[in-house]
Amino acid sequence: MSKYIRLFKWFSLILAASTMVLSVLFLPYFLESLAWRFPEYEFLIDPAMYFIWATSIGFYYIVLLLINICSNAQSGKGFTISTAKLFDRIAVVALVEIVAYMIGFVIASIWIMKANPYLVFLFFIVAFFCFMIFGVCKVMKHLLRRVADIKEDNEYTI
């Protein structure tokens, strides 16, 4: 089991590092090509880039919390209240990401003076994934608290 946990940790780190490299190196070129295709949106290049970089901080924090959860599971502390609190933190970060993307969508729509279909689609994809992360983490928090309570009750019985 610990082999799979180590593999998941490495996969998470590789995913976070590749996302960081892609967002730092290729995002400016991608936004420049979009501005070349749609010159009326050229003024949104810098705000979009900074917005994506700012909201990716939450993603990296979630990866860090997942690595902490894996470390707890590896050390035998998987069914504890502290692991449930980590899932609760992930849920809060996902909820903050949803709110940030909603505010960003509204601001971008006001700047553009209309709701661009690509922007709407991107917003709904990100909001859907953040909402799914939020829901799964809240369920896991509830289940882990239940298991931790049952485990605590069983430790005190003979």
pLDDT tens column, 15-48:
999 989 988 888 888 888 888 888 887 888 888 8
> Which of 2, 152, 157, 153 is closest to 76 using CA atoms?
2
pLDDT of residue 135 exceeding 90, the answer is: yes
Helical ranges in the chain per DSSP H: 2-21, 27-37, 45-74, 81-112, 117-156
Question: Rounded to an integer, what distance in angstroms lies between the CA atom of residue 36 and that of residue 47?
Answer: 16
Decide: residue 149, CB within 10 A, 0-12 exposed, 13-18 middle, 19+ buried: exposed
Domain count of the fold of the chain: 1
**Contact call for residues 104 and 51 (beta carbons, < 8 A):** yes
pLDDT for 14 equals 93
Position of tokens 């090509």?
A: 33
Q: Residues 115-143: what's their mean pLDDT? A: 87
Residue 99 structure tokens: 């709110």
pLDDT for 115 equals 67
Residue 106 structure tokens: 């509204």
φ, ψ of residue 115 to 5 degrees: the values are -95, 105
- CA dihedral sign of residues 138, 141, 142, 143: positive
Question: What percent of the chain lies above the pLDDT cut of 70?
Answer: 97
- Listed in sequence order, the residues at least 6 apart from 6 whose beta carbon sits closer than 8 Å to its beta carbon are 74
**Contact call for residues 62 and 133 (beta carbons, < 8 A):** yes
Q: Which domain, by its residues, includes 145?
A: 2-156
pLDDT for 35 equals 83
**pTM given for the model:** 0.83
Question: What percent of the chain lies above the pLDDT cut of 90?
Answer: 41
